[in-house]
Structure 1
Amino acid sequence: MDLRRSQTHQNARWKSVGLRLQRRDLLFAMSRWPKLFSIVLLALITLGAGVILQISSQNADLLIHRIPPPEGLKDAAATVGLDYEDVALTTGDGLRLAAWYIPSQNGAAIIAQHGYHASRDEMINEAQMLARHGYGVLMFDARAHGYSDGDLITFGLKEIADTRAAIDYLLTRPDVDAGRIGALGNSQGAVTLILATAQYPEIKALVGDSPYAALQDEIATGVKAFTGLSPFPFAPLIQFFAERKAGFTADSVAPIHHIAQIAPRPVFLMQGGADSLIPIDSGRRLYDAAGEPKALWFDPALGHVQFDTARADEYERRVVEFFNAYLLGEGE
């Protein structure tokens, strides 16, 4: 009896010791969970941040480097029946630009400059319209676009040299009066032309459809439009990588700081109130900053670069009257 009672007591003691050990191990493990959770969370955050940075860097490359020319570009002008010449322009920094030129019938010629990630065929509608009224038209692929040389896109900054090459070409043409050179641009092309016209007095009249007032203003919407990524957190990160890869800052592309230098040469701006790519006050801000003579066509129903298609008849009337007045001296 005493032996059985002693054995039972001993078993109870060991059981009690075992329970205490289990409880201690459990408490020890529980005390480590916050630390383990923090380590796992930090690892996940680090991994996620690394992925975001990699995506941002890759998309910065996509935004600042050339894309392949669109299919059918070489034959686009011939397809619509334009009477044109294949020509090549050479920039001051040694790039060859592929171009089409429609000879002038009235002594005046227009430099037609396409927008971002487009090519010279974007300007065919405008070229047909101007040619009907006797204007010569020079359309070219900007650097790093279409079939032109170059790999880096600078959103209007270095593209000024492309416009200079276009001016120099027109000055060699016997059909063009050197005092009757105008310019018409869409989006980034309009931005480039504002910067170039402020610098080069050879351009006597400028039409700009949907230019941004400053590159910094449209980075968030541009990132969303051209990459499909959310502006947060990607826009500032893509800007960070793009500026370092391209060697310039967004602040250096701000036509609003230069447009006043164009006066007393005339400027005609267009801005759509349904533009989802640039701030809809861009046209008004540029107009307010410009000197006289100037004009602004604001249509609340139109999106980015839609005037020549959605308002084709009025677009033709307004643009042709503008160039006729300031390049041909009609109606002044």
Structure 2
Amino acid sequence: MTRENIEFTGEAGVTLRGWFYPAENATGPAPTVVMTHGMTAVKELYLDDYAEYFAAAGLNVVVYDHRNYGESDGLPRQETDPILQHRDIRNAISYASTRPEVDAARIGVWGTSFAGGHALLVAAIDKRVKAVVSQVPFISGSKSFAAQVPLGHAAHVRDQFNGDRLNRFTGGEPAILAAVTDDPAGQAMMPAPDAYEWFTKGAANRAPNWKNEVTARSLEWASEYEPGSYISRISPTPLLMLVADNDTVAPFQFALDAFEEARQPKELKVVSGGHFDAYGGPGFEECASAARDHFVKHLGA
């Protein structure tokens, strides 16, 4: 499938880079899906598979690397600012609407993992979004932090955040964490064993520009981010939430609780497996086909 390398301007003038996949067999402006990946991930980590799947169904697709990651610009490198990331999604929608291949009245948003939370927030506040898919979503920073950091260690981690903040304020370099680790006692943004296996194997095979690094401030900001609190405001935009029943990275219980707060129209699909099984794994076909059908139904591909 032919795809186009693209770039557009995100928040604060940062250049974001990615791909545009044209809708197959389109005879005029077609509906379009804006896609973004999760924490530290780059577009080469299986977003191309999803984009090809959607394009084959008559959907244009815009997919790009978040600021500070992959081929996109932005400093400091390997830093995740959830506020700027969800604002960049809105800039991606604006970019898509300027393209002649795109029907600006039929734009959907797809986000996975950390960006699954972004998708919920953006669909709630930006009514240019006419359909949304949130896959294995990050729901609550406070709940995730409490689940990940033992109670007795939370104050120590907060002290580390404060030390990093002071160091940066006085001109020091950002503190860096591993994104994933195979050390059960090690500190990482995503300490789950399946996260280490998926990123290290997937990155080696598909995304050599992925780095096992993330700034400490990214973890601090993630712990403060509550995208699930917006979920009741998504309606009347149709929502599909895809939840993995063995997800320990973005605990599925948080997603199920949030879904109860969403208003109609909404659809929940629970798939078997862990957080990463939808990327090139046994859950890909199930998740991709459900998302495709949701977008085709509500965007009219």
Normalised to the residue count of structure 2, the TM-score between the two structures is: 0.72
Report how far residue 266 of structure 1 moved: 0.8
> Take 1:233 and 1:305, find their aligned partners in 2: how far apart are those partners?
30
Go from structure 1 to structure 2 and tell me whether the alpha carbon gap of 1:240 and 1:221 turns closer, same or farther (over 3 Å shift). Answer: farther
AA in 2 matched with 1:94: G
* 1:283 Cα deviation from its structure 2 partner: 1.6
In 2 relative to 1, CA 97–318 (structure 1 residues): closer, same or farther, beyond 3 Å? same
Structure 2 residue matching 1:139: 3-state secondary structure: strand
| C-alpha distance in 1 between matches for 2:165 and 2:249 | 20
Aligned equivalent of 1:112: 35
SS at match of 1:178: strand
Aligned residue among 111, 125, 142 for 2:66: 142
Equivalent pair of 1:271/1:282 in contact (CA under 8 Å)? no
Q: Does 1:303 find its partner at 2:274? A: yes
Helix, strand or coil at the partner of 2:13:
coil
Residues 74-101 of structure 1 show CA distances to partners (whole Å, capped at 9, x for unaligned) of xxxxxxxx41111111013111001111
1:328 alignment partner in structure 2: 300
1:99 is matched with 18
AA aligned opposite 1:199:
I
Q: Does 1:263 align with 2:235?
A: yes
Assess if the C-alpha contact under 8 Å between 2:32 and 2:61 holds in 1: yes
* Shift in alpha-carbon separation, 1:91–1:222, aligned structure 2, 3 A: farther
Tell me whether 1:199 sits opposite 2:118 in the alignment.
Answer: no
- The 5 A counterparts of 1:1-332 are 82-105=1-24, 106=26, 107-122=30-45, 123-151=47-75, 153-219=79-145, 235-240=157-162, 246=217, 252-299=224-271, 301-308=272-279, 309-328=281-300
- Structure number with the bigger relative contact order (C-alpha 8 A, sep ≥ 6) is 2
- Determine the structure 2 residue equivalent to 1:4: none
2:183 aligns with: none
Give the CA RMSD over aligned residues.
2.7
Return closer, same or farther for 1:164/1:91 CA change in 2, 3 Å cut-off.
same
Q: Is the 8 A contact 1:213 1:285 kept in 2?
A: no
The one-letter code matched in structure 1 to 2:128 is E
| Rg (Cα) greater in structure | 1
Percent identical pairs in the alignment equals: 25
Task: Give the residue type in structure 1 aligned to 2:117.
Answer: V
Deviation at 1:165, TM superposition (A): 1.6
Partner Cα separation in structure 1 for residue 114 and residue 62 of structure 2: 17
**CA 1:84–1:269 in structure 2 vs 1: closer, same or farther (change >3 Å)?**
same
The 8 Å contact of residues 87 and 98 in structure 1, kept in 2 or not, is answered as yes
The answer for unaligned runs of 5 or more in structure 1 is 1-81, 225-229
Quote the Cα distance in structure 2 between the aligned partners of 1:242 and 1:326. 45
Assess if the C-alpha contact under 8 Å between 1:214 and 1:253 holds in 2: yes
Corresponding residue of 2:199: none
Give unmatched runs, 5+ long, in structure 2: 169-216
Q: Is the 8 A contact 2:8 2:17 kept in 1?
A: yes
- Which of the pair is proportionally richer in strand? 2
**Separation in 1, partners of 2:162, 2:58:** 46
Counting matched residue pairs gives: 242
Over 3 Å counting, the alpha-carbon distance change for 1:162 and 1:240 in structure 2 is same
CA contact (8 A) 1:221 1:231 kept: no
Report if the CA contact (8 A) 2:110-2:116 is conserved. Answer: yes
Matches of 2:236 and 2:157, distance apart in 1: 38
How far 1:304 sits from its partner (Å)? 0.9
Offset, 1:297: 1.4
